[in-house]
């Protein structure tokens, strides 16, 4: 049992756990004496601490959780069942218990199981229902009155299902089966050096990190002030995983490609992820660079080796938020020193990341963002080695059509494939099996391919291949002739 705690099998305070009730998930931080609301119920997680992940709990009155032992299904003694519903009349009076009666039962703290039993006994039509209908009735009531929740360990499977159900907008409607395709088509595995550009709350990043198991490295390209990793933090990765994680601002990609990159300025602290305005600046490090206005850092930069004049700086600061001013007023030397240390650390890491990218030998590229994919692909593929897979997700098909065409024109890629997956769930029960619901559309589209060494000369074979994908010319002519 000691071992299981070490392996992270037990629920500990401070963990990110996922609550599950039937098909509904919710990620929560496990804290003592903190009220959690889930599926119209409130409770405290205190009692769950120390239990093994996967344990099912019952919510008792007062919101405490009691581990539910796996019980023998108490089969309701129903030897009677009808064959069809020819004599069942809906008069609204079949249930003899009133709404108030049920509420009274609940308030007494009577177990959900008992309530369900009472409902069955007080249903005049229950015995006339078919066996299947009785089953269905019991299931429905159980769902309502037997409050059981299971606490499970987060994983890509659970988190991607949860996000798609709860907050699809935050992950650009990336359905979990589509994410699964991306991980496979991208050949994500331990030891890779991956480049990721995502605006899916860090879910795609987390999925990639899970598949890499802390081996290799991930470079996350981010827009604005910093990467969003709300979903990534739900995975509960060990600290060591984050040692292999790098980030690089998208706004610096062009300067990196053109060789004018400098680490002099950084985007602002990852706080609200507001797009930061760019402006051209004078020579820094004897180089023309794109500079980003930064919060907080601008002062320490001035203290360091920035050429910005005091005057300019204060003008910039006027536009800054008051938080900064307050901190400046309080700002003692130690504060500034601490900031400088952080600043230097960030800069060091940025230089390191730039060097990793400049090797241009990444093992793959994954893109899933709210931006148009074409410019991202055309730039970021520069950093990928030949014979490596890349996968682009987009909520819409049209941008990927353009991306496909542009990549073909540019060359250096083969085996381009535009695809989509549909997912179908089934209800499987004796004599009652059928598809549950059709999920289609809204799951997004994927463009995948493989990089190859870039050709200087357009060869005829690649144009041949391109032709194969176009409508044959003869057909077009025929159409026109017909209409003459």
Partner 1 sequence: MSFVDYADTIKDGDTAIVFLGHESMFPVKVQHGSKTQTKYGVIRHSSDLIGKRYGSKVTCSKGGWVFILHPTPELWTMNLPHRTQILYSTDISLITMMLELKPGSIVCESGTGSGSLSHAIIRTVAPTGHLYTVEFHQQRAEKAKEEFQEHKVEHLVTVKNQDVCKNGFGVSNVADAVFLDIPSPWEAIGHAKSALKIEGGRICSFSPCIEQVQRTCLAMEEHGFTEINTLEILLRVYNVRTISLQIPDLGKAAEDNSSTGFDSSNQSNQGSLYGILQQGTAQFKSGVPLKEMVGHTGYLTFATKSLF
Kindly identify the residues of this chain, within the stretch 436-455, that bind partner 1 according to CB under 8 A. 445, 450-453, 455
Residue number, 180 or 317, with CB nearest to partner 1: 180
Q: How far is the CB of 143 from partner 1 (least distance, A)?
A: 15
Separation CA 221–CA 249 (nearest Å): 6
Residue 195's nearest CA partner among 343, 347, 412, 359 is 359
The interface with partner 1 within residues 262-321 (CB under 8 A) comprises: none
Residue closer to partner 1 (CB basis): 89 or 454: 454
Residues 400-419 that bind partner 1 (CB under 8 A): 400-402, 404-405, 414-415, 417-419
Minimum distance from residue 233 beta carbon to partner 1 (Å)? 18
Q: Of 124 and 469, which CB lies nearer to partner 1 in the complex structure?
A: 469
Report 131-190 residues binding partner 1 (CB under 8 A): 155-157, 160, 176-177, 179-181, 183-185, 187, 189-190
* Shortest Cβ 387–partner 1 spacing (Å): 3
- Give Cβ neighbours of residue 203 (< 8 Å, ≥ 6 apart): 159, 160, 163, 171, 174, 179, 231, 232
Site for partner 1 in 34-93 (CB under 8 A): 52, 54-56, 69-70
- Checking DSSP bridges between strand 278-280 and strand 290-292, what pairing results, if any? antiparallel
Place of tokens 């991607």: 160
26/16 Cα distance (integer angstroms): 10
Cβ(400)–Cβ(421) below 8 Å:
no
Q: Does 476 bind partner 1 (CB under 8 A)?
A: yes
CB of 164 to partner 1, least distance (A): 13
Measured from the CB atom, the residue of 188 and 376 that comes closer to partner 1 is 188
User: What residues from 189 to 248 belong to the interface with partner 1 (CB under 8 A)?
Assistant: 189-192, 210-215
| C-beta closer to partner 1: residue 257 or 452 | 452
Task: State residue 60 phi and psi, 5-degree precision.
Answer: -100, 170
Report residue 171 as tokens. 């992950």
Other C-beta atoms lying within 10 Å of the C-beta of residue 449: 24
In degrees, rounded to 5, the angle at the alpha carbon of residue 94 between the alpha carbons of residues 92 and 96 is 110
CA distances from residue 270 to 104, 156, 228, 251, 325 in whole angstroms, order as listed: 51, 24, 8, 14, 18
Structure tokens at 263: 């680490």
Q: Which of 424, 437, 477, 478 binds partner 1 (CB under 8 A)?
A: 424
How many residues of this chain interact with partner 1, rule: CB under 8 A?
82
Whole-number minimum distance, CB 305 to partner 1, in Å? 38
Using DSSP, state whether 438 is helix, strand or coil. Answer: strand
**DSSP state, residue 20:** E
What does the per-residue mask of binding to partner 1 show for 373-392, with x meaning CB under 8 A?
------------xxxxx---
473 makes contact with partner 1 (CB under 8 A):
no
> Is residue 461 at the binding interface for partner 1, with CB under 8 A as the rule?
yes
How far is the C-alpha of 449 from the C-alpha of 390, rounded, in Å? Answer: 6
Q: Which is nearer to partner 1, 75 or 322 (CB)?
A: 75
Q: What is the distance, to the nearest Å, from the Cα of residue 233 to the centroid of all Cα atoms in its chain?
A: 10
Q: How far is the CB of 58 from partner 1 (least distance, A)?
A: 13
């Amino acid at each position: 049992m000691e071992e299981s705690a070490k392996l992270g099998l037990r629920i500990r305070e401070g963990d990110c756990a996922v609550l599950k009730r039937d098909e509904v998930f919710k990620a929560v931080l496990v804290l003592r004496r903190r009220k959690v609301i889930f599926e119209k119920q409130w409770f405290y997680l205190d009692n769950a601490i120390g239990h093994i992940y996967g344990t099912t709990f019952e919510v008792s009155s007062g919101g405490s959780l009691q581990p539910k032992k796996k019980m023998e299904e108490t089969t309701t003694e129903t030897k009677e069942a009808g064959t069809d519903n020819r004599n069942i009349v809906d008069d609204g009076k079949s249930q003899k218990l009133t709404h108030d009666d049920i509420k009274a039962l609940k308030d007494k703290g009577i177990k959900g199981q008992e309530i369900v039993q009472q409902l069955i006994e007080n249903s005049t039509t229950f015995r006339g229902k078919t066996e299947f209908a009785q089953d269905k009735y019991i299931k429905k009531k159980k769902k309502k009155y037997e409050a059981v929740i299971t606490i499970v360990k987060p994983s890509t499977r659970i988190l991607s299902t949860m996000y798609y159900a709860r907050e699809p907008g935050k992950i650009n409607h990336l359905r979990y089966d589509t994410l699964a395709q991306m991980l496979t088509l991208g050949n994500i595995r331990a030891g890779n050096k991956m480049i990721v550009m995502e605006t899916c709350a860090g879910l795609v990043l987390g999925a990639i990190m899970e598949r890499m198991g802390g081996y290799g490295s991930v470079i996350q390209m981010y827009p604005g002030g910093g990467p969003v990793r709300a979903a990534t933090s739900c995975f509960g990765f060990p600290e060591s995983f984050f040692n292999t994680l790098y980030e690089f601002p998208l706004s610096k990609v062009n300067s990196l490609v053109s060789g004018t990159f400098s680490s002099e300025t950084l985007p602002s602290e990852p706080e609200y992820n507001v797009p930061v305005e760019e402006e051209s600046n004078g020579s820094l490090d004897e180089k023309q660079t794109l500079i980003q206005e930064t919060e907080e850092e601008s002062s320490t930069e001035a203290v360091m080796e920035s050429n910005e004049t005091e005057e300019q700086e204060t003008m910039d600061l006027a536009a800054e938020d008051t938080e900064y001013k307050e901190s400046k007023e309080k700002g003692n030397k130690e504060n500034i020193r601490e900031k400088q240390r952080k600043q230097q650390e960030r800069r060091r890491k940025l230089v390191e990341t730039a060097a990793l990218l400049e090797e241009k030998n990444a093992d793959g590229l994954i893109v899933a963002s709210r931006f148009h994919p074409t410019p991202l692909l055309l730039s970021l593929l520069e950093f990928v080695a030949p014979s490596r897979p890349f996968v682009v997700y987009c909520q819409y098909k049209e941008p990927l059509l353009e991306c496909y065409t542009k990549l073909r024109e540019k060359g250096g890629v083969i085996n381009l494939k535009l695809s989509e997956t549909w997912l179908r769930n089934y209800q499987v029960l004796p004599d009652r099996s059928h598809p549950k619901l059709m999920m289609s559309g809204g799951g997004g589209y994927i463009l995948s391919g493989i990089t190859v060494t870039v050709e200087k000369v357009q060869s005829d074979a690649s144009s041949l291949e391109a032709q194969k994908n176009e409508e044959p010319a003869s057909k077009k002519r025929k159409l026109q002739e017909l209409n003459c």
